[in-house]
Amino acid sequence: MSRSSCLSQLAEELPSHEPRYILVTYHYEKSDGRVVYPYCMIFSTPEGNCEAVLISMRSYLTYKSVCLNVVRIRLYLSFL
């Protein structure tokens, strides 16, 4: 299964009316042959639901404080 089809399937399973946190892990082989399974936390929020976003920011700040690395990506998916 390709990465784009995995993301499409994930997007279809998310509720369209409330924010969600998704923890994803994946198989990654480094150049020296070692295999690792890094984690990626995704925050998904529906468009136009400002109140839900503000409420969920408390949780985001809590999660951010315990994560080693945080990368913020704003992705607009046309199929949502």
The two beta strands, 39-44 and 28-29, are unpaired
**Confidence class for position 80, pLDDT limits 50, 70, 90:** very low
CA distance 17 to 28: 33
Average pLDDT taken over every residue of the chain: 70
pLDDT digits over 37-79, tens only? Answer: 888 777 777 666 666 666 666 666 666 666 666 556 555 555 4
**Global confidence as pTM:** 0.47
Total Cβ atoms within 10 A of residue 50: 9
Indicate the residue type of 4: S
CATH 3.40.20.10 for domain 3-66, yes or no, is: yes
Sketch the domain layout of the chain as residue ranges.
3-66
